Amino acid sequence: MKTRTWRSLHIWLVAVMLSLLVAIHYHAFVFADVRLLSQVSSILSSTPIGDSLERALFLIPIICGAVMFGVGGGTSVLALASAAMLPRVFLDSAAPWQALFETGGIILIGALAVSLCDALRRGRQRLAELEKTQSTLNSQVKRLSMLHIIWGILSQSLELGQVLNAARNGVTQIMGVDAMWLHLWDREKGALKLAASSGLSEAVVRRLCEGLDGTVAQSKRPIAIESVSATPVFKRLLEQSGLQSVLSVPLVAKGDILGTLGIGSRLVYHYTADEVNLVSAIGLQISMAIDNARLYERERLVAEALRVSERNYRELFENASDAIWVHDLNGTVTAVNSAFEQLSGYGRNALIGANVTTLLPSHCQSRADKEAHDKVLKGDPSEPYEQELVKKDGSVVTVQLGTSLISKDGQPCAFQHIARDVTEAKIIQDNLRFYVRQVSQAQEAERKRIARELHDGPVQALVAVSLNLDGLVSGSPPVSARDIQEQVRGILQEVRRFGQQLRPSILDDLGLLPALKWLASDLTRSYGVDTNVEVIGKPRQLPSETELMLFRIVQEALTNVRKHSGANSACVRVEFTNHNTRIVVNDNGKGFELPARVGDLARIGKLGLAGMHERVQLLGGTLNIHSEAGKGTSVTVEIPQ
């Protein structure tokens, strides 16, 4: 409206000037009675160039029209001025050709003035456009500079806490705001949570979170409030904060809301679209930094879990009691643990890089676990199998192997073997079968002995008693009834002796110590081996099964003294302590050579010692045998209390 009014005034001004000049130019023909015009005309005519000056005055409205209305307005005024000047050239001119020449010159000068004004106007417009472009460029440079500075601050760390502190300091200092706040979206609670703030109390920021920022987070669109009084919805909320204008933008990454960023001023301020875009761009940078920090945190946790898992695996690998080694698909050993070093006898440096076939006997090298390898390559679990390995010293051990496949990026790359030395177990198993066979034979031999002794002893005596009783009944007894009675007493004593050999009643009646003393006295009395029993500590009664086992062990030890040692003296020492019971049987016999393994006792014919070992194991105790040639033998049994 104001522009239109000024335009109308300019038109009237140009029209008045043009009309006045026309009146002066034609006052002698039309306005001769107007005294003022006559005076002006007289003044102009009194000059040497009076008519030329009148024509030159027409340049004033032409130039004003060009200046005020551009080339169109200037051209129109020029045309009107030309139309006003040309008639007088022919109506009232002493020298028409000179007047025509002057008029043409004025018209030409007017045209040049119009062109010059138009050029000046275009220059001013171009200059204004350049200034506007320069302002825009300066604004963009300032915006990019701010974004660059803030991103430089944000990218200094990947720790979330440091990123949030950098965002707070960067936005506050660079943008020069009175307050800023940043909320992060808590996915578990489904609500915003304050992460960083400056210039406001936590209580005020919490109310902002419940109102303004909650709306921004839900809509994912920025909200700019220029004046508190103009926003009834948030008026009360903003009045409590002391802010007059605020701007809140969403923090979005990959389409998901991460939180909100807000800035505020205590003065009324109009946020332009560029400023809203700038703060939104800063929010985008902060979103990227937060997303990168969270990604880094997840990767750090995963890496830490992998390190812990790798460390645990390495500890399990190194400290496992079973031998473990890994070799690639070509059989080259890539990793071994300490147990495998002990099993093979080779050092780690000698094993790494060697081919696994060097550890296999010649008859197994062609197979080289091929069956198990083919099975696990097909995806089937491999059952444990037995394999022979050649140690560094040339000895062969038998191990039980479990094979598993190791893959990398979905492709098989190595085999892992877990081995347990079962050499001793196999020997014990073989010896146990031999022991069972020998025990069975010994039982049958014992049964034959008992049957033979019964047949040769009590049975024959009973036959004689039966014949004597028949004679006594028939009236012609070969012996007297007293003789028959003596025969029966002898048979009874012989049967009792058999019973005591099988299980002495003294063990059930009086306990372990009297039974052991009876064994010692019987060995001294019957076989001439001087044997005594020593008791150390306070005697205590043991469970009946335990006493029976210990009795049989000592009985077998003394039987070995009688049969094999050639000793003339022996000692049975029984020690009672707070925690265990120990029995030691010593002799001064010739001794013998012990096998390398306890399991070989049965194989070399030491069935009695093997039986003692089995009984001690049933009691949960230990058996130690020490023997040297010419220095006797010591058998120690120790069982827990």
- Tens of pLDDT, residue by residue over 230-266, are 666 666 666 666 777 888 888 888 878 888 888 888 8
Apex 568 CA angle, 562 and 574, nearest 5: 75
pLDDT of residue 447: 66
What are 334-366's pLDDT values in tens digits? Answer: 888 888 888 888 888 888 888 887 787 765 544
The one-letter code for the residue type at 610 is A
The one-letter code for the residue type at 598 is V
Count of CA atoms in the C-beta half-sphere (13 A) of 320: 19
Q: 535 near 574, Cβ under 8 Å?
A: yes
- Check residues 160 and 260 and name the one with the higher pLDDT: 260
- Check residues 60 and 572 and name the one with the higher pLDDT: 572
φ, ψ dihedrals at 534, nearest 5°: -115, 140
- Report residue 107's pLDDT band, with 50, 70 and 90 as the boundaries: confident
Tell me whether strands 530-536 and 411-421 are parallel, antiparallel or unpaired: unpaired
Give the strands of the sheet with 256-265, arranged side by side: 191-198, 179-186, 256-265, 245-253, 223-225
- Counts for the chain of helices (H) and strands (E), in that order: 20, 15
Q: 583 near 550, Cβ under 8 Å?
A: yes
Is the domain covering 324-421 a CATH 3.40.50.2000 domain? Answer: no
Task: Please tell me the least confidently modeled range out of 87-91, 462-466, 471-475, 485-489.
Answer: 87-91
Q: 180 near 197, Cβ under 8 Å?
A: yes
Q: 154 near 167, Cβ under 8 Å?
A: yes
- Report residue 110's pLDDT band, with 50, 70 and 90 as the boundaries: confident
Q: Quick one: which H or E segment has residue 624?
A: strand 622-627
Those residues with Cβ within 8 angstroms of residue 314's Cβ, 6 or more apart along the chain or in another chain: none
Apex 125 CA angle, 119 and 126, nearest 5: 85
pLDDT of residue 501: 64
Q: 575 near 536, Cβ under 8 Å?
A: yes
pLDDT of residue 34: 47
Find the radius of gyration of the CA atoms of the chain.
Answer: 62
Count of CA atoms in the C-beta half-sphere (13 A) of 597: 14
Cα 492 from Cα 457, distance rounded (Å): 11
Tell me whether strands 411-421 and 323-328 are parallel, antiparallel or unpaired: antiparallel
pLDDT of residue 365: 47
Closest among 81, 122, 120 to 103, alpha carbons compared: 81
Task: Please tell me the least confidently modeled range out of 252-261, 433-442, 550-559, 604-613.
Answer: 433-442
First to last CA, the chain: 117
Cα 11 from Cα 64, distance rounded (Å): 10
pLDDT of residue 183: 83
What are 472-514's pLDDT values in tens digits? Answer: 777 666 777 777 777 777 777 777 666 666 666 677 777 888 8
Q: 337 near 418, Cβ under 8 Å?
A: no
Q: 452 near 357, Cβ under 8 Å?
A: no
Residue written as token pair 């936590």: 202
Average pLDDT, the chain: 75
Token pair, residue 530, equals 């001087």
Average pLDDT over residues 401-414: 79
pLDDT of residue 368: 44
* Burial of 152 (C-beta count, 10 Å sphere; 0-12/13-18/19+): exposed
Q: How many CB atoms within 10 Å of residue 425?
A: 13
Token pair, residue 254, equals 């990959």
Q: How many CB atoms within 10 Å of residue 489?
A: 10
Handedness of CA 376, 377, 379, 380 (dihedral sign): negative
Residues in a beta bridge with 536? 575
- Check residues 60 and 222 and name the one with the higher pLDDT: 222
Closest among 215, 213, 179, 209 to 197, alpha carbons compared: 179
Task: Please tell me the least confidently modeled range out of 45-59, 87-101, 167-181, 284-298.
Answer: 45-59
* Angle between helical axes of 481-502 and 423-454 (0-180°, round to 10): 180
pLDDT of residue 366: 44
Q: What fold is seen in the domain 509-641?
A: Heat Shock Protein 90 (3.30.565)
Token pair, residue 628, equals 């040297």
158-299 belongs to which homologous superfamily? GAF domain (3.30.450.40)
* Residue 629: pLDDT over 70: yes
Q: How many CB atoms within 10 Å of residue 625?
A: 19
Q: 383 near 412, Cβ under 8 Å?
A: no
pLDDT of residue 381: 60
pLDDT of residue 78: 76
Report DSSP letters for 374-416, one per residue.
Answer: HHHHTTPPPPPEEEEEE-TTS-EEEEEEEEEEEEETTEEEEEE
Cα 248 from Cα 217, distance rounded (Å): 10
What are 186-210's pLDDT values in tens digits? Answer: 888 778 888 888 877 777 777 765 6
pLDDT of residue 50: 47
Residue written as token pair 């190791």: 406
Average pLDDT over residues 215-224: 84
* Residue 97: pLDDT over 80: no
Q: 347 near 337, Cβ under 8 Å?
A: no
